[in-house]
Every structure is written in structure tokens, then in C-alpha cells.
Structure 1
Amino acid sequence: MPIVYDEKDKWRFLKILRYFNDEYSQENIFRTLDLLQKFGNINPFERPTSWPPRRPLVKILSFHLAENHYHLLLKEIRPGGTTQFMKKLGDGFTGYINEKYHETGRIFQGSYKAKVVDSDLYLQYLDVYIQVFNPIESYLGGIKAALENFEDAFSFALNYEFCSLADSFRKRNLQIIDRDILKEERFLNLKTYKEFARDAILVRSIREFLGKLAME
């Protein structure tokens, strides 16, 4: 079942990641932002200077949005922050979809699924799974073609607007992610990250390494 139906829905999801990861909240937040962007000459992901200092609920390390699911790699930075953020995300996006398409009920089936990451290697593989493997599943010809043409498929992932790979390597800055715990050299340089991703996907079989989580 789709959770997004067009490009505007996808951009709204990303804006919710940007603006709802904050203790601060207000009614009609996007109406306020639309007015400020129209008359105040700010970009769609720029935080208004009139708002109080941002106090994030979690750190978003990476993300990917597809037509019928999404993946987030989060670091909890305060007790209950993940639960609070996921509730704001679910409620906010459901409200948007229901209002736009005159629907009722939940967009996401059941509560969100979470897994605690307990090793650096698992964290690194999961990051590649979210930022590279997930996007290239949409590559022309599917995952088989992507694996046979990895260089081109990696460029496809880098240019896919609804995942965080471009933000991770400063190709753009939507101010959504915080990569502070991914400090190994391979995660600071695009070339070495690509080689790590190639090895994880083509040689190490990332799906098998991640197990059940990679199938959900």
C-alpha cells in the first residue's frame, strides 16, 4: 500500500523529518512556513530565525523514502526521544495525507519497527543498506541491473532526492541529518564510502548480514 502518491507528498515527508525533529511545535506549522517562504525569502528547509533555538528529539543519521515504506537510522539523545519523534512523524504525515486525499485512518500499518544497533560494523552496513541499497532497488532494470552496473547505480543513488546520500557527502544540505557518530575514514570520503558500499553489497551480501531487518 503506498504511503506517498506524488512528488509533493515525498517532499512533505522530508520537511516533516526536518521540522518535527524538535521539542518546539506549533499549530499550522507548514502554513507558517509557506508564508515565510513566500514573503520572507527563505528556502523550504531553512529554519525561521523567529523560532526558538532548535532542540532535536533524535539525531537522524540517514534516511530513505520509497513509495510504500521508509527507513530511518536514528540515534536516541534523550529518554523517550525516539518514541516522541516517531509519533510526531506518524501523526503529522497521516494528517497531511488524510486532508489532501480526503481519507481517514492510519497511513502506516501498526507501530513502527525498531532494532537497536549494537556494533559499529552493523551500523555501517545498515547505513549502506539505507542510503545505497534501498535507492538502487528502483534502478532501471531492478537490483540485478544495478549490481551489474554498480558505478552507474551508485550515481543513481547519489542523485535520488528522497534519501540522504547526497547530504552525507555535502552534495546538498536539507539540514535533516547529523553524521557525527559515523567518523571512520570510509564514511568521510565519498570514494571510500562507495568502495565500502560496493564490497558490502556485491561481496559481503548485505541482506544476509543484516538478516530479517533487511527484508522489512
Structure 2
Amino acid sequence: MEEETQTISDGNLVPLDKYLAAGVHIGTQRKMKDMLPYIYKVRPDGLSILDIGLIDKKLGEAADYISKHPSAKVVVVCARDAGKKAADKFAEVTGAHAYTKRYMPGTFTNPEYKGFREPTLLIAVDPAGDRQAITEARSNNVPVLALCDTNNMTENIDFVLPVNNKGKKSLALVFWVLAREVLKKQGKLKSAEAFKVPLEDFEDTSEPQPEVVPKG
């Protein structure tokens, strides 16, 4: 496949073949203007391919961005079934909080709600599916880091992490790398090799279910 000719620098976070196997670079046939800078090429079948070198670079920057916030004040939201296990494991490993079931409106804005939370950073797996949480975070000036595919709008997103945010393997690898790198930057790991949580723990091996794509 032509996209396999992509290269990344020697200081990459994971080997190129690992990125390729997980499909972190596989976009969609729809490409939004906001995401054009992250697209490496468009295949003859119309499928957009993200730049793996940029993905690797942005993963490192994202980990640095996340590590500057107290773990207990970081919230991950994921309405997409494919990313729920990975998001939950990331939260468990780093000490963040995850909302992978229904996100209740008012969680960030209604102090009377028993589940009210005041995060200092929101991580959204999909700007479309996690729109309610993003809107509430922005209303409270909480920065938003979002995993964005080629078909996503980046309005109200403070940090764009360009990746395939639809595939189970892609999301597992992304959150595995983020967890490891955040712990390193927080001084909780001396090296990448000291991270003993296997990638398999982030992977969802359940049977695929039909996925409802959010409208709009």
C-alpha cells in the first residue's frame, strides 16, 4: 500500500510498523478544511491518509499538554463504542476520570447535579459525538484536547490530535502511548521500558457492533 511509504524520525514514540498495523493514519473519504494540514495524501479510492510523522509529533505534544494538568482534574469523554475500553484504561492508569457511558448534560455546568465536576482539561475522542461535553467545557473556559479524524471540524478545540478516531486498534494504541508518555513527563516513569501495562489491556476484543455516526 502506498501509504506505507510514509516515514517518521528516529525519535518516534513507537515503530512505524506499529502505527501502520493499528491504522492510526487511516482517515475517511470526507476531509474537512480544518484537517487538510494533517493529510499526507488521498488514495485513488478517495480515502484520506493522515501524516504519520505528524501523528507521532502531535502525540508527544499532546502528552506534554496533558501532563501539565493534575491527573485528577483531567476528564476523558468517549461516546464512541470503539474507544471506550481504551479511554477507561487511560483514566485508570493515569488517574484521570472517564465518561464512557452516557455523558449527563450539566456535569460541568450545574453545581446542583450530584455528578458535578470541575476539570481543568477535557480530552474528547470525537468532536461530533462528544459535542455536549465540549460545549460545557468551553463555557467554563476549560481547554479541550480532541482526537480528530479527517472528517472532523476543529471549532472549539484547543489542541488537535490528528488520528483515526474510529478504529479500535487505533484508539487503543493512541491511548496506550498517551498514558505512557504522560506518566514519563510527570516523572512517574523513568523510561518507556518501565511502562508495564501491555497494549492488549487497552484493546477492545469484543465483537464489532454497528456504530451510529452522529449527525451534523
Global fold match (TM > 0.5): no
Look at both structures and tell me which one has the larger radius of gyration over its CA atoms.
1
Of Structure 1 and Structure 2, the greater strand share is in 2
